[in-house]
Structures are given as structure tokens and as C-alpha cells.
A and B are shown apart, each in its own frame.
Chain A
Amino acid sequence: MNMYIQPEYEVIRNSDKCIACRVCERQCANLVHSFDSETGKMKADDSKCVNCHRCVCLCPTHALKIVKSDDTYKINANWDNQTINEVYKQANTGGVLLSSMGNPKPYPVYWDRMLVNASQVTNPPIDPLREPMETQLYLGKRAAKIERDEQGKLKNTLAPQLKLKVPVLFSAMSYGSISYNAHESLARAAEELGTYYNTGEGGLHKDFYKYGKNTIVQVASGRFGVFKDYLESAAAIEIKMGQGAKPGIGGHLPGAKISADVSETRMIPQGVDAISPAPHHDIYSIEDLRQLVYSLKEATEYKKPVIVKIAAVHNAAAIASGIARSGADIIAIDGYRGGTGAAPTRIRDNVGIPIELALAQIDQRLRDEGIRDEVSILVGGSIRSSADVIKAIALGADACYIGTAALLALGCHLCRSCHEGKCNWGIATQRPDLVKRLNPDIGYKRLVNLVTAWNHEIQEMMGGMGINSIEALRGNRLMLRGIGLTDTELNLLGIKYAGESM
């Protein structure tokens, strides 16, 4: 017998406002709403609602809201409702619990416990509207040797670099986990913004090769869609060792999502599950990683930077040190709040560490070892605003990857049911009628708006600090102060407490 579980959210319709237009019914792929022709009224089946707010946003009279159910078991601080329900669910099904998007648990958010400095009197702030304020930057190895040719002229020994007009890139989201229209929106936005989007591990759709100079292609443990043209089309290649949402495990895209197009792009049979193994079966050491880094460089004639992406885990600093020595040009670190199209709930919610701590430790370790210039550092895993970007850069990052924020700009309402494949916003789905709901003409513009707005805010905050170039902010931890943090946390972050002077 299946235990009945009370729905977590209720659909509330103000019947004084509802005009029975049935727009909500047509827009809900979960079939929550229906029209009762006998009463002439709309009905809702709360149990199917995932709280994606599609109906709320499209209802022309704003007659709808979704509220948290106040039904509760006997209050228990140890066994809260969700914990109990999860036990019931597993007792019902015997299955592993699945979730999507980032870790929603109330762990501390260190970004919110750091404050940014501003100049007063002695070093005046700069007005970004009147004076140049540089947010352009380059990613790649900075360590160049001075070498001269026979004529005594300086040789260019600088490794290939990625040029970014803004310190923000779109993080890896595969075609398959997100839709064609979502990919097109990201690609076009990256092109217009002068930054990059990342194919994720699902290969590159043939229509998107034209955005190659703004594309980072990924090589993950499944090696989906990897071949010469794929590597050559891109501006940079990212080796994915891990992902913040699910460190230590691979991926599993169900066969139902492997449509004809996805199968062609991933180079796997249609309808067959796409399994990414947990490890790369050819990488068991830094030496092995180095071989893959150099194979990829060799295959692309040393013209493209190679990124190695890892999840933020307990030994991140030591691992990063190894990566910096492996020949990689850029290290990408993904924090435990990073999103995913599907992950086992227990892994998403309990594995990994906060990006803030991992970043501070990695930057410090590489500096201590004198190899910080060997690599650039990219961070992701819940960068929510321009303030988070500023703080990340001051902690030592070169630039930030945004995934969840980008999807929000495209319409995502964080219902965290991507793994069900019925995204009502046309993002995490391959169902043609749903994919269609995301018109890339609208989507790319919204992404451009978001990043442009953040860039303005970044310039303003930099100006306030009296800094006129984003490169001068990198690793400038004196610009940060902690609040509500313990000594250990301050030490790990390498920052002083609010109120402490230089």
C-alpha cells in the first residue's frame, strides 16, 4: 500500500478574479488545472503541482497563487515534515530520491557574511560614468618567459587566452538536460556580451557551431559528442572531472530524453540511456589528467586554453595544486550549491563544500606555492548577484560561471523538478510543445539584460572601492570583511572581521 502524502503546496484561485479563460489549464504540463463544465468553474489538483509558477505568471487576471500547505504532522524539530515524507516516499517506492537544481538546505551562505569596502577621503572613489572602468579580462596562463629569436626580437610565449568583456560566463549545461532553445539563447547572449557559454557534456548541436568563438566545449567522462570538429570549433575545452551538485558520481540522462536530435549530437543511439561514469576511466592520477590535457592541446595545435573543472570537495586545494601543474590553463571550481538537471537528493544535499571556502583555500595554496599565475580560476555554484561576483573576485577568482541565475533569466522558477522532463518554461525539457515556450529572441535578450545590469553594478562597486580595473580587484581580500563568522571561518577565507582596520 502506498502511504498518502499530503501535497506540499496548494494552488489557490481567487474565484472573484478568475474569468475561466483556461490559460492556466493549457499552460500546465502537469495537468493540475481543469475546467468543470457543470459548474463553469476551474478546479485544481494540488497533488500534481510542482510550484513552477507558469500559471501564476500567465493568468491574465492574476487570480492564482501557490502557497505552502499548512498541513503538518506533529511538530518535531528532528523529524520535520519533509524528512518524514521522504521516508514515506522511499518506503512506497524503494527508490533513490532524485532532485534537481542546487542544494536548497539552510547551510550558511558565506557571500552574505562578507562586506565590501568603499573609499572615503584618502583614496577617493571613482565615478564609473565619468572615468574608464575596466571589466574586461583574460583567462589563461600568465606565466610567460622572456625569449628572443635570432634577430633578438621578443618571442610571444604567452599561452592562448580567453578574452572576456565581462567577468561572467554561462556555466556548463548540456543539450539534453536543457533544450535547444535554451542553448540557442545562451549562445546568442554569450556572443553579444563578449563572453562564453559552455556546452556541458552533451556535445554541440550542428546548428550552434557558428557560435564557436563564444563556446567552451566540455569533455566529460561519457565523452559524448567529442570529435575533432567539436574540439576545433570551440574557443576553449573544459575537462569535467566533477560537478558541485553531485561530486563523486556520474550522470544519467534517461533514454526518454534522447530524442533524434540529442542522439545525433551526443553520438549515441536514440532512446538509450546516456550514462556518464563517475570517474574518467583513463584518469586515476594527476599524471593521467596531464595526458588528457596534452592530448586535447595536441589535437587542437596548442591554440586553445584547456580548463579542468572539479567539484569543491574537502581536498580541493591540494587537487587544484595538482591541476595547476598538469598543464591546464584554467581551473574551474563548482561549489556544493551548484545546479543540476538531476542528482540523487542525498548527494546534492550532503556532499561537497561551499565555493567561498574552496576558492579562498585554492587561491591561497596556489599563491603559497608560487603557481597562481600558471592558471586562472573560474568559480561557480550559486553566484546569485553582482555582489557575489565582486566578492568572489576579491577572494581570488578571475571570473564567475553562472548557471542557475542564467536559467532564472530565461524563466526558470526553481521548482526543482527538471528531472521530470516536463519543464513548463521550456528549459529543462525535450518535449517539442514545451521547448517552444522559450523563444530565444526573448531569452537571449533577457540574458544580455541580466549580465549587462550586473556589469554596471560591478563597475559601481569597483568605483566605490577606488579600483578601476577588475584585474586589480582579484585576490584583493583587504576589500572584504567578515560578519557573523568564527575565527576558523575568517582564517579559511583569509579575511578580517568587520571593524578591523588594515
Chain B
Amino acid sequence: MKRIYVNEKWCLGCHLCEYECAFANSGLTDMVKALKGKTIHPKIRVEDSGEVHFAVNCRHCKDAICVQSCISGALSKGEDGVVRIDQNKCVGCLTCVLVCPYGAVMPAPSGHAAMKCQLCTDNLCGEPNCVKHCPNNAIVYEER
């Protein structure tokens, strides 16, 4: 399946991907309207330490430990390989948040459920918006 891969060597730590993620998932078509004056809750997070930067989001693991450990069956792996969360089923125990080795599942802003990257299949973009707007090919969406 096509996944998002990180080219750490080229990540600038500009954090654009986080804003593009938040915008993609806002459901709005105007970035200013979507993000101005708001705290963003992106599903991709850029880790910075000195000169090293890289962006982390869900790896859509083959044997996804989050799916295995979900107590309510909210997490599932689709036929397309995408690990998805059904927020209506999620009871907000945040077990997945604890078990994900990448820290790629996070509490949703409501506090009552978890959220994660679904490769923009759950919004109007259709293709990862973070990848589309990364200025330096530091994240790529490809088959490997």
C-alpha cells in the first residue's frame, strides 16, 4: 500500500505539515477561516531537537498494535491497509495512545475519543495534504 514515509534528512522543521493537516481536517475550504485564532490539533507532529527534525504520523503498521489493543473495536484496518478509528465507537480509554510506539494516536480535542491520521481518506483532500505541501520532499506518499 502507499504510505507516508519520512526523509528525515530533508525535514526543515518548518511545521507547515501540521498546519496543512489541521486545515485538511477542518472541513473548510479557507485556511484562514479554519485556523485563525485557533489552537491546532494536527495528526502529524514534527519532532525537533537541535538540527534534527522529522515529522511523525501513523505508519499504518501491518500488525497494528493499536487495533489489537482497542477495547471497543473502534480501531480497524481496512482492506486498503489504512488503520481507521470510528470515533462513535471509541470510549476514550486511550489505550491506543499508550501502546502506539510512534505516538501517532492522540486524544481528540473533545477529550472523549482518540484520533489519528487516516491519510486524508476521511476528508475532502483524498491524498495526504501534509505531503502535498511539504516544501522539501521530507515526507513522501509512495509504495515501497
Contact = CB atoms under 8 A, between A and B. Distances in A.
**Does B associate with A?**
yes
A58 B15 CA distance: 11
B32 interface: yes
Contacts of A26: 12-15
Nearest to B135: A58
A6 interface: no
Interface residues of A, number: 19
A21 interface: yes
B10 A19 contact: no
B51 interface: yes
Given A432-B51, A437-B136, A442-B137, A58 B36 contact: no
A197 B11 CA distance: 27
Contacts of B137: 439, 441-442
A60 B51 contact: no
Contacts of A19: 19, 31-32, 35-37
Given A16-B32, A60-B31, A432-B51, A21 B13 contact: no
A442 B136 CA distance: 8
B12 A61 contact: no
B16 interface: yes
B133 interface: yes
Contacts of A207: none
Contacts of B12: 26-27, 433, 436-437
A205 interface: no
A22 interface: yes
Interface string B8-39: 01101111100110010000000110011100
A216 B13 CA distance: 36
A442 B10 CA distance: 11
B130 to A, nearest CB: 11
Contacts of A17: 32, 36
Interface string A424-464: 00000000110011010110000000000000000000000
A58 B10 contact: no
Nearest to B11: A436
Contacts of A58: 14, 16, 135
A23 interface: yes
A58 B14 CA distance: 9
Nearest to A40: B37
A399 to B, nearest CB: 32
B95 to A, nearest CB: 32
B132 to A, nearest CB: 12
Contacts of A436: 9-10, 12, 136
Given A19-B19, A441-B137, A61 B32 contact: yes
Nearest to B38: A19
A433 B14 CA distance: 12
Nearest to B19: A21
Contacts of A432: 51
Contacts of B13: 26
A350 B50 CA distance: 44
25 contacts: A17-B36, A18-B36, A19-B31, A19-B35, A19-B36, A21-B15, A21-B16, A21-B19, A23-B14, A23-B19, A26-B13, A26-B15, A27-B12, A27-B14, A58-B16, A60-B19, A60-B31, A61-B31, A61-B35, A433-B12, A433-B51, A436-B10, A437-B12, A437-B136, A442-B137
Interface of B: 9-10, 12-16, 19-20, 23, 31-32, 35-37, 51, 133, 135-138
Given A17-B32, A27-B12, A436-B10, 15 more contacts: A19-B32, A19-B37, A21-B19, A23-B14, A26-B12, A26-B13, A58-B16, A60-B31, A61-B32, A433-B51, A436-B136, A437-B12, A437-B136, A442-B136, A442-B137
Closest 3 pairs between A and B when the two form their complex, measured CB to CB: A19-B35, A439-B10, A439-B136
